[in-house]
Structure 1
Amino acid sequence: MTDAANDIAGLSFEEALKQLETIVRELEQGNVPLERSIDMYERGDALRKHCDTLLKSAEAKVEKIQLGQNGEASGTEALDPQ
């Protein structure tokens, strides 16, 4: 993995989303040089994929919540996000 991919893999959902929002805002302003825009777009795409993976993992965990006899959540089953 590249340093950028390692950097992104270690981010929480909130951190990755904040970086992605910053990239989108800068690109929308339209005053970024072309080469930098391409780099930013590539990082933004990697951040989007990371956020999507984290969201899918969280959704799967929510679906695995087991309800106890009294109707309350009794626990979750951990899932491998891969």
Structure 2
Amino acid sequence: MKWRLALLLVGSLVLAGCGKVNQENYSRLKAGQTKAEVEQILGAPTECAGALGVTTCTWGDRGSFISVQYLNDKVAMFAGQGLR
């Protein structure tokens, strides 16, 4: 029974995190914003990777995501797919 409660809790957290990956929040993103400003809008990223001073962070999953590229910790470019 405890594992069912844990599974329900994890599932709820995953769905709550995906709720910020939407067209409204995508529209709030602007070039030049800091990582902290973006995370205020979208929450913690699903994953980040970087090389040579460029970091790319992604929120969401394959079907619906927002991807942000940072140069020196400021938004350089961003893209989204499957947003509602």
Q: TM-score, normalised by structure 1?
A: 0.32
Q: TM-score, normalised by structure 2?
A: 0.31
Higher share in strand: 2
Q: Rg larger in 1 or in 2?
A: 1
